[in-house]
Amino acid sequence: MLNACAVLLKLFCFSLLRLLCALLRYGSLGLLTLVLLFAYLPVPYTGVMLERQLNAWLDGQAHYQARHQWRPLTQISPHLLQAVVAAEDQKFLQHSGFDLQAIEKALVYNSKGRKVRGASTISQQTAKNVFLWTGRSWLRKGLESGLTLLIEGGWGKPRILEVYLNSIEFGPGIYGAEAAAQRYFGIPAARLSRSQAALLAAVLPNPQRFLVQAPSPYVRKRQQWILKQMQQLAPVQRQLR
């Protein structure tokens, strides 16, 4: 009886292992296919959009609706390109997906038991927003690192920034530059001013908490800091050509 149970347990474990390997293999193949497709095609929906939609349904928010309109980089204000790079990743055009100096500083800061500080680049954020989910875990971070290397090698900086600006969350249900410009300022993304672009970039650390339509003193202070950084930073649009 015990031998039979042991055999059944081994068979179950073997079957489970085969299933996990198959899921990993086909899941990896699916991700690779999406990376290749999104190197050329507009991204219609992202992992974070799906996560937010599922959370809204679970919370009973029947009215929740994601707003998202894809725009090529040429139809997005250069002020917004300048603002997000100034705010989120000033070494974006120099690194290969990871800012090692920022990671080292974040590790030292976090080791002192203070509030957790991130060091994600625009490339890492794009990989997470498009293919993965929010939250902190070693699994997500590992997948994010691999995907970051893939998009850095397969997309290039202009495409990464284009996808980033079309997928980043600017507020509850607001994804991408066009949806944000229309929702908060009533204009297309191509017409965003320096001040408006800096305000949008100012909420990016936490668009669920910081609101464009009702900016807190912290957001206003951050907006002014971003405007100064935009002046000091070399023109991003020119460097992408």
Q: Is residue 82 part of a domain?
A: yes
Q: Is residue 23 part of a domain?
A: no
CB 222 within 8 A of CB 202: yes
Q: Is 153 helix (H, G, I), strand (E, B) or coil?
A: helix
Q: Is residue 113 part of a domain?
A: yes
CB 188 within 8 A of CB 178: yes
Q: Is residue 7 part of a domain?
A: no
pLDDT in tens, the chain (241 residues): 556 655 555 555 555 556 444 555 656 788 899 999 999 999 999 999 999 999 999 999 988 999 999 999 999 999 999 999 999 999 999 999 999 888 777 666 665 665 555 679 999 999 999 999 998 889 999 999 999 999 999 999 999 999 999 999 999 999 999 999 999 999 999 999 999 999 999 999 899 999 999 999 999 999 999 999 999 999 999 999 8
DSSP H helices, 59-204, are 78-88, 100-111, 122-131, 138-154, 157-167, 177-185, 194-202
List residues bridging with 169 in a β-sheet.
175
Domain interval for residue 197: 48-240
Q: Is residue 13 part of a domain?
A: no
The domain tally of the chain equals: 1
Compute the distance between CA of residue 218 and CA of residue 202 in angstroms, rounded to an integer: 9
Q: Is residue 114 part of a domain?
A: yes
Q: Is residue 194 part of a domain?
A: yes
CATH code, domain carrying 139: 1.10.3810.10
Q: Is residue 15 part of a domain?
A: no
* Torsions phi, psi for 135 (to 5 deg): 95, 165
Work out the number of other CB atoms within 10 angstroms of the CB of residue 114. 8
Overall pTM surpassing 0.95 (yes/no):
no
CB 70 within 8 A of CB 152: no
Q: Token pair of 86, please?
A: 């100034």
